[in-house]
């Protein structure tokens, strides 16, 4: 087995075990239709399957409508150039092809299937793929050696009416071009002026230099080198692929070409670039040393001679990794969604430019979590987005799809790009559809002033910035202005551009008014005026809640720096309860949205409180645009087995019967009865017309444990708990909440306040 890099963080045995256990390989098939009944079987196979067969026979394009073709990509290789390991045979490439399939699914929800072709003859390879190519919506070629890969891709694209994309070429080209755009931006260089040297005229190198020219680099400013030196015009024994990039240049060696160069692209081998060469480059040199596992020159060696350099490599243990996973999933996502006939230059350039633009935006907390808390910000060490940026799925494909539409290769144009972006969010984030609806409602309602109580925290500042940028309302930050602005500047944010308000509780002209108000509420509950003065001066939750009570703000978000109960207790001393105070969690799993209450407030509610919780939860769910169907959860089913907690639930049902509420409810029952219509068939008296969507838990511990358990097991997204029932809308996030969680809470706060006012 070949030696691995000394920075490897796992052993060879661990890698083998990973691929062997619990099931050999990395992929499996999952059906998209149920096979639970005889009717299901009849529809899926004989005789029902004959209907789509005949429809496709009449019009082959209907395969996109009735089969998985439209979301299916083949990952095909003959194993002649596996990673950096060489020609090891078609079956040795299978782990890599399976890995590619996993990445397609994980990052862009594209289904894929690996195909290993047992031939090294390009014509035979083309014949095989041509004859089976119509099976898929696109083909990703992988690990095929140069120059055969060029001819194979060209022939297959001519022969097939679907995208054919050789990722070793174009994936590297797209990511490196995105990096070059941003590196030039940071270094103060123009694409049409930089002098670029390519070391390694293989598939990835030639494709990269080609795409960079398409993006703006001038052909006369490029020099490419292979094993025999500079590829200059008139050099003998040069194949057509290299000859297309040959230039009139006096340079014959890499040492000569590097003198005064702005950019060097390394796609060759370890040690191909020396310190002396780097030292001879122009000011602020851009060095992409992308050979794997060992770059042409290490970043440490570059920095020892050029502190002004911007460096990228192909490795994940250095900044600015040129990682193809940033490209191929999203290129195919966009291409499949418009049923593109090919992936052309314009689509690749659009992808590169979109990646470059995304890297210049504020980096989400999810990315920092993936990098063990390391905070990333656009600059010399962050010119390419992280593969873990959750925005990639909805940010990149629309640019690719639009380019396909603009260049006439799309067979199914997208009419509404905003709706398409929302659809893309839903593919990897089940909460996206709900949040899209809530956000749209907030934008369409009168502007809400949202207080972010912990305004000095970096995450809160970034959340307020993004909240304002998204036009969701006017943020108000509570904190010392100098510290807020300092932390904002460190995050690269300029508040003066947006007009975000900052209030210092201690020096506010409202201070006395708020103290008088709060002392009036607490003076007969054991509080002295000086205690209240200290609370308003020093505790931002009291000050922020007082702003709401006086109409100086509309709603509030807190909780980042203290636990839920403490924050709720402080806010509750200022604001009164309107109705019943509950915590409502939203669980999104397997296409189902469930609302769970009460997850925060009532520890062991009695029957009256359970009824009140159900009314408040149903009212909130109705405001969120859903018809509530309430099920009271219990270990027992309609009295069997009997018990005290079950009796409290039964009494809650009787209370609702007497009140004559206007929503469906039933209980007591276990979850499977609430959520499975076949289970309910045994209880014909049940009043639920469909599956329940509001689950009332018998105690706070069962509510909290159940929601956290499904979240911990994976496969479910939990929003909240949302705090419902105060006279003004306040949301309390979890301790140390991420930027996205804070924004979600602020959006719900603005939405809830708007709904209350309208009501």
Active site residues: 45, 100
557, 451 Cβ separation under 8 angstroms: yes
| Euclidean distance between CA atoms 287 and 428, whole angstroms | 34
Using CA atoms, how far residue 82 sits from 101, 129, 292, 499, 597, in Å, is 16, 19, 12, 54, 53
Using CA atoms, how far residue 156 sits from 122, 123, 126, 167, in Å, is 11, 10, 6, 14
If phi > 0 it is left, if psi is from -120 to 50 it is alpha, else beta; for residue 63 that is: alpha
Helix or strand or coil: residue 118? coil
> Both tokens of residue 552?
């100086």
Identify how many contiguous H helices and E strands the chain contains and give both numbers.
32, 21
223, 196 Cβ separation under 8 angstroms: yes
452, 746 Cβ separation under 8 angstroms: yes
The C-alpha angle 510, 515, 520, rounded to 5 degrees, equals 135
Of the candidates 211, 43, 60, the one whose C-alpha atom is nearest the C-alpha of residue 137 is: 60
The secondary structure of 312-354 as a DSSP string is EES-TTSSSB--GGGTHHHHHHHHHHTTBS---HHHHHHHHHH
Burial (CB count <10 Å: 0-12, 13-18, 19+), residue 582 = buried
| Euclidean distance between CA atoms 634 and 406, whole angstroms | 57
If phi > 0 it is left, if psi is from -120 to 50 it is alpha, else beta; for residue 156 that is: alpha
| Euclidean distance between CA atoms 485 and 482, whole angstroms | 5
Q: How many residues does the chain have?
A: 759
The residues pairing with 588 across neighbouring beta strands, listed in sequence order, are 593, 717
| Euclidean distance between CA atoms 351 and 331, whole angstroms | 7
Give the contacts of 210 (CB within 8 A, at least 6 positions apart): 173, 244, 245
If phi > 0 it is left, if psi is from -120 to 50 it is alpha, else beta; for residue 235 that is: beta
Helix or strand or coil: residue 634? coil
| Euclidean distance between CA atoms 333 and 108, whole angstroms | 6
- 386: part of which helix (H) or strand (E)? none
| Euclidean distance between CA atoms 29 and 294, whole angstroms | 36
| Euclidean distance between CA atoms 250 and 553, whole angstroms | 69
| Euclidean distance between CA atoms 177 and 160, whole angstroms | 27
In a 13 Å sphere around the CA of 589, the CA atoms on its Cβ side amount to 18
Of the candidates 183, 170, 210, 199, the one whose C-alpha atom is nearest the C-alpha of residue 289 is: 199
């Amino acid at each position: 087995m070949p030696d691995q890099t000394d920075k490897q963080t796992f052993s060879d045995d661990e890698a083998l075990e990973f691929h062997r256990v619990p099931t050999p390989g990395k992929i499996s098939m999952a059906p998209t239709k149920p096979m639970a009944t005889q009717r299901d079987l009849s529809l899926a196979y004989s005789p029902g399957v004959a209907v789509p067969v005949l429809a496709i026979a009449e019009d082959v394009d209907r395969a996109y409508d009735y089969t998985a073709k439209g979301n299916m990509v083949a990952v095909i290789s003959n194993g002649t150039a596996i990673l950096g390991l060489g020609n090891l045979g078609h079956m040795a490439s299978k782990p890599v092809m399976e890995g590619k399939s996993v990445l397609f699914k994980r990052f862009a929800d594209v289904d894929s299937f690996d195909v290993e072709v047992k031939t090294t003859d390009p014509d035979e390879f083309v014949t095989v793929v041509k004859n089976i190519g119509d099976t898929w919506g696109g083909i990703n070629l992988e690990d095929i050696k140069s120059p055969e890969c060029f001819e194979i891709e060209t022939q297959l694209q001519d022969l097939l009416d679907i995208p054919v994309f050789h990722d070793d070429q174009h994936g590297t080209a797209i990511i490196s071009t995105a990096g070059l755009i941003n590196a030039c931006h940071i270094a103060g260089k123009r694409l049409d002026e930089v002098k670029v040297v390519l070391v390694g005229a293989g598939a990835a190198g030639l494709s990269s230099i080609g795409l960079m020219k398409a993006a703006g680099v001038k052909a006369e400013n490029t020099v490419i080198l292979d094993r025999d030196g500079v590829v200059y015009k008139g050099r003998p024994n040069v194949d057509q692929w290299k000859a297309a990039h040959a230039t009139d240049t006096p340079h014959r060696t890499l040492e000569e070409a590097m003198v005064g160069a702005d950019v060097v692209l390394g796609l060759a081998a370890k040690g191909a670039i020396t310190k002396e060469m780097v030292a001879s480059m122009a000011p602020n040199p851009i060095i992409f040393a992308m050979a794997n596992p060992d770059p042409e020159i290490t970043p440490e060696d570059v920095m020892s001679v050029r502190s002004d350099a911007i460096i990228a490599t192909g490795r994940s243990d250095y900044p600015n990794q040129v990682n193809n996973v940033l490209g191929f999933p999203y290129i195919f996502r966009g291409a499949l969604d418009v049923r593109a006939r090919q992936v052309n230059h314009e689509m690749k350039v659009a992808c590169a430019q979109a990646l470059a633009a995304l890297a210049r935006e504020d980096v989400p907390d999810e990315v920092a979590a993936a990098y063990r808390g390391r905070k990333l910000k656009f600059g010399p060490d962050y010119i390419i987005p992280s593969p873990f940026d959750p925005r990639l799925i909805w940010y990149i494909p629309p640019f690719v799809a639009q380019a396909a539409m603009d260049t006439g290769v799309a067979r199914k144009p997208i009419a509404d790009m905003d709706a398409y972006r929302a659809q893309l969010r839903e593919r990897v984030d089940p909460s996206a559809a709900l949040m899209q609806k809530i956000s749209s409602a907030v934008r369409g309602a009168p502007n809400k002033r949202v207080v972010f109580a912990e305004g000095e925290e970096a995450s809160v500042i970034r959340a307020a910035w993004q909240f304002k940028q998204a036009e969701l309302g006017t943020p108000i930050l509570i904190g010392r202005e100098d510290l807020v602005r300092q932390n904002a500047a460190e995050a690269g944010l300029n508040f003066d551009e947006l007009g975000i308000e900052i209030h210092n509780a201690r020096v506010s002209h409202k201070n006395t008014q708020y103290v008088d108000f709060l002392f009036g509420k607490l003076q007969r509950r054991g509080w002295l005026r000086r205690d209240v003065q200290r609370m308003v001066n020093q505790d931002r939750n009291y000050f922020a809640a007082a702003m709401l009570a006086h109409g100086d703000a509309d709603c509030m978000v807190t909780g980042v720096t203290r636990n839920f109960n403490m924050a709720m207790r402080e806010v509750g001393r200022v604001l009164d309860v309107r109705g019943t105070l509950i915590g409502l969690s939203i669980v999104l799993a397997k296409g189902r949205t469930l609302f769970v209450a009460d997850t925060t407030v009532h520890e062991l509610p009695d029957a009256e409180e359970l009824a009140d919780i159900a009314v408040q939860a149903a009212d909130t769910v109705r405001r969120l645009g859903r018809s509530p169907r309430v099920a009271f959860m219990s270990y027992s089913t309609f009295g069997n087995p009997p018990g005290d907690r079950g009796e409290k639930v039964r009494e809650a049902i009787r209370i609702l019967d007497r009140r004559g509420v206007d929503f469906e409810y039933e209980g007591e029952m276990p979850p499977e009865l609430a959520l499975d219509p076949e289970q309910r068939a045994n209880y014909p008296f049940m009043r639920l017309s469909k599956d329940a969507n509001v689950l009332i838990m018998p105690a706070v511990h069962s509510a909290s444990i159940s929601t956290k358990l499904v979240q911990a097991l994976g496969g479910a997204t939990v929003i909240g708990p949302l705090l419902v029932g105060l006279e003004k809308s306040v949301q309390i996030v979890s301790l140390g909440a991420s930027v996205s969680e804070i924004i979600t809470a602020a959006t719900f706060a603005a939405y809830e306040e708007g709904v209350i006012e309208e009501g």
